[in-house]
Structures are given as C-alpha cells and as structure tokens.
Homo-oligomer: A and B are copies of this chain.
Amino acid sequence: MTTKSDELEPSESRVTIARIAAETGVSVPTVSKVLNGRPDVAESTRARVEAVIGKYGYRRRADERSRRSRLLELMFHELESTWALEIIRGVECVARENGMAVVLAESSGRHTPGQSWLESVLARRPVGIVSVCSDFTGGQLAKLRARDIPLVVVDPAGAPGPETPSIGATNWQGGLTATRHLIELGHRRIAMIGGPEGVLCSRARIDGYRTALETAGLAFDPALVRRGDFHVRAGYRELASLLTLPDRPTAVFAGSDLQALGVYEAARDAGLRIPDDLSVVGFDDLPIARWLTPELTTVRQPLQEMAAAGARLAISLARGVDPESHRLELATSLVVRHSTAAPAHRGYRVLTGGAR
C-alpha cells in the first residue's frame, strides 16, 4: 500500500543516473522519468536513454526496489477457457496471501506482449510479472532488468531465454503416460493431435507419445500425428480427417481437453461411440473433463499450482532471494475415467458399413 512519490531520491544511485544523463545529454529528471515509465518523454529521447541504461547495465538500488507498489502483473496471450481461470486463481491466491493485488492483461493472442503494456507496467512499478506469454523481446527484458522487475513465465509456449525463470509441467512424461495407457489397453493405431507448431509443451507431448510407441515396438506413423491449436474446433477437424484414413485409429491422444471435446463431437457426428469404438485421452484435466459424457480420461496438469509457484517465485525474486532453480516442472499424472477401453468392439464397421 505504498505507492509514494515516483522520483528517485538524491542518493548514491544518482551517480549512475547522472552518468546516464550526461552521456545521453538529457537531465537527471528525464532519466528518472524514463525509468519510471512516465509518458511525458519524447520517444527518441526515451530510446536513447534506454540504450545508455542498457550499455551500463544500470539497475535500481535495493532501497529503490523496496518502493514497489503492491501489484503483481499477470499477462495472458489469450483469456480463453477455464485453462486461463486456473492460472488466474493460482496467482490471485498467492497475491492475496501477500497483501498484493493482481493486474490482469491480455495481449490479444500474440505471444510477444505489446509495447504499451510494457510501458504501463514500468509506470506501475509492480512487485513482479507472471506471464503466460514467453516471447519477450531482448529490449523488453532489458527494460525490466534495469527496473529490477522480475519476470516469471508459466506454462511457456516458447522457450524463454536462460535468464527468464519459468514454471512448467512434465509434458513429455504426460505424453508418454497417456500413450502407454492406450497401448496397455491393446490399441495399436493411436493418433495424436498436438498443439501449434513451435509451442514447446506440444513438442514435448508428441515426443513422449513417440517414445511410448517406439519402446513398445510400435511403428511411429506420421499420418497419425496432427497439428491443432489446443481448441475445440481443431480436435473436431483433425478427428474428422483421421477417420477418412483407410486404417483409422482406434484411439486418440487429443493433446488438450478442449481438443478432446472436439474429438467427442466429431466421433458423435460419425456415429462412433466413446470408448466402445474410439478411446480418447485429453490433457490438462480442466473441470470439463469430469462433465463430459463419458467422463474424460486425461493427463492432469496442475495449472493452479504452477501459477501459484510462478507468483511465489516472482515475489521471492523481488525480495532479492535467488531461487535454487530457474526452471521448475511440476508433475503431471494420468487420471483414468471412462473415455478409454480396449479396442475390442467393432461397432464402427457395423454402423457405417466401412471396411478396415
């Protein structure tokens, strides 16, 4: 509750700020304004000051850092589905425990946050940032470093650089476990619907799927591996396409619960019963997994706990405590419900007259 004056105090830190001011050819208050994200500085001046700040690796002093507001920033690339809600709840809970408030923003689907958002964050002087977007530019990271605003990425889509701490889940292990479950039930034609190309958590799940097949002595068939975007429609589209294969899969690892939902719809439209004619495994364990008919077998990803761990890490970093590790992966676990069974039934052939 201590958003006092934004100005830097005339103290030892002035030496550095004075040097930056002198080198840039601007006044000390102008450097302060840039540091504090104030809008009343010309863009060209701001860029020159930032360049010199970067050159000297200037960082706020510890007593300056303590003048943060009691805000924790939370940045999404998109606010969709209960996936986002689980993340929000995890961060909000930790913020409340620490007497802080959560500022929420969305980057309209882009994985690199916008510049105006970043400037507004600098002006708010938050404790730290928890972000689902992982693709911060080098310039953005440098600005945050100079103000000593810690950034933690949760469930990263891309690969944050080595200096950015991140909290993820054991995606590879999840893909492996889901696929082994289907193999143990007796499935041999197992399809996989991944996420967008370049999203690392999706790559990890696909690699786990592949390893499960190969260690079981099953061939990896590229025709059975599809790309989605983790949303419902992609699941529908890809299963519909998979069902046109001459040797259609008897099981699908859908890559996300929402894609599993689309798979359910496409299966229904094709007259297939789950799990009799098709087994389905999701990923995430959103509340909806329990509400589907039949209830969805899925890989639980502890989203709330991941978000809470991210918030705690940001707060620790703001207090100057360095974490033991900058990468943390929380465990995934398979939750077996009613959407998976042995591929014994031949309902599909009877219903549609199609041949295998």
Contacts and interface: CB of A to CB of B under 8 A. Distances in A.
Interface of A: 1-6, 37-39, 69-71, 74, 79-82, 84-85, 88-89, 92, 96, 99, 101-106, 116, 119-120, 123-124, 232, 261, 264-265, 268, 287-288, 291-293
A105 B101 contact: yes
B39 A1 contact: yes
29 contacts: A1-B119, A1-B120, A1-B123, A3-B6, A3-B123, A4-B5, A4-B6, A69-B124, A71-B103, A79-B88, A79-B92, A81-B82, A81-B85, A81-B287, A85-B85, A88-B88, A88-B104, A89-B106, A92-B105, A92-B106, A101-B103, A101-B120, A102-B105, A104-B104, A261-B291, A264-B291, A264-B293, A268-B293, A292-B293
Number of copies of this protein chain within its complex: 2
A293 B265 CA distance: 8
Contacts of A268: 293
A83 B97 CA distance: 24
Q: Which of A37, A84, A88, A119 has the most CB of B within 10 A?
A: A88
Q: For the complex, would chain A's binding face be called helix, strand, loop or mixed by DSSP majority?
A: mixed
Contacts of A5: 4-5
Nearest to A78: B89
A73 to B, nearest CB: 8
Contact of A79 (B2, B6, B85): B85
B104 A37 contact: no
Nearest to A84: B85
A264 B79 CA distance: 28
B79 A39 contact: no
Contact of A3 (B1, B85, B124, B291): B124
Contact of A38 (B1, B69, B120, B232): B1
